Amino acid sequence: MRIVNIVQVDFKYRFSKDTPVITKTTFSNKVVTTIVEKPLIIKMWVNKSCSLFYDILVYKIEIHNVSGAKIGKLLLRDFLPEGINFVYNSLHINHKLYRCTNVEGLIFIGKIEEDEKIEISYKVVINEKCKLSIIKNKAEVTFECMYNIEKKPIRISLYSNVVETILEHNLFKEFVVKNKIDIPRCKGTIDSVVKIETNIKIVEAKVINTKCKNKRIKEECFNLEVEEVLFLGIIEYKIKYMNKHKLVYYNSEKGFSTTIEIPKGINYFRQIDAEILNESMDYFVLDKLNIVISNCLIMKIGD
């Protein structure tokens, strides 16, 4: 939009008292002010429309100066949703790496010339505590604007478009652990089993570098890079059984291991938080001194 302004002055005069009054109109020069509703066009993109816990997202922002003049003191900030962690040393401004800078704080970009474009990109990783089903994000850019030449510049904030990523809460694995428990002869033979309780714990998790083998994950989340993670655990068995009308207690402990494919962002975390659930348990008495116990377990990542 353009504002055009001209001053009109009407006046009267005469050369002498005997001459008639002359009426005349004159105009000033024309001044034009161009009004730009949004001096900056801010666009934002995300590289994935679907993702999982521990996955890495790449955000890209483009700032285009359409004001027709230079704009100074640009500041950028991204209010990352809860459960999303910024990856340090991943910020690039016009393809130049900026170390030790967090987009959740104010980032000083500086000036942007007329019709100039600035490209900004950075990475974030989704942690297992993210409760969102859709991750929405947008960026804020603030800059100085000379609203009145007789006053100090004011700061104006503009926002980018909103980008969305669907978070799939289905990072889990179901598997079966079967163990044979040998009852020492000194404890007495098994006449009948009264009760069996199990307590399952994860003691260690380790990343193993492999290629993605899970076709379902590949199909659901395009361009997903994963790591295979080895989990080591312990199952504690508490067995109550009858021997010659006497109640006998026997405890045993067995180890187990399993692997699960987790997005590559797991490498940015010191600890892998996983929950293991005992979905069902079954057993049968093999003989008077041996019981086979089978547990159907679910390894779950995230809430």
Which domains does the chain possess?
Answer: 38-167 (2.60.40.740), 172-301 (no CATH)
Model confidence over 66-114: pLDDT tens digits? 887 888 888 888 888 888 999 888 889 998 888 877 777 678 888 888 8
**pLDDT value for 122:** 92
Q: What is the pTM of this model?
A: 0.72
Model confidence over 208-226: pLDDT tens digits? 865 555 555 444 454 567 7
Q: How far apart are CA 236 and CA 245, in angstroms?
A: 25
Q: How far apart are CA 6 and CA 33, in angstroms?
A: 12
**pLDDT value for 224:** 63
Q: Which residues contact 260 (CB under 8 A, 6 or more apart)?
A: 171, 172, 173, 228, 229, 231, 274, 299, 301
CA dihedral 9, 10, 16, 20 (to 10 degrees): 160
pLDDT in tens, the chain (303 residues): 467 788 888 878 777 777 787 788 888 888 776 565 688 899 999 998 888 888 999 999 999 998 878 888 888 888 888 889 998 888 899 988 888 777 776 788 888 888 899 999 999 999 888 888 899 999 999 988 766 666 777 788 899 999 999 988 878 889 999 999 999 998 889 999 999 999 999 998 888 865 555 555 444 454 567 788 899 999 999 999 999 889 999 999 999 999 888 888 888 888 888 889 999 999 999 889 999 999 999 988 876
Tell me 220's DSSP state: H
Q: How far apart are CA 232 and CA 228, in angstroms?
A: 13
**pLDDT value for 103:** 73
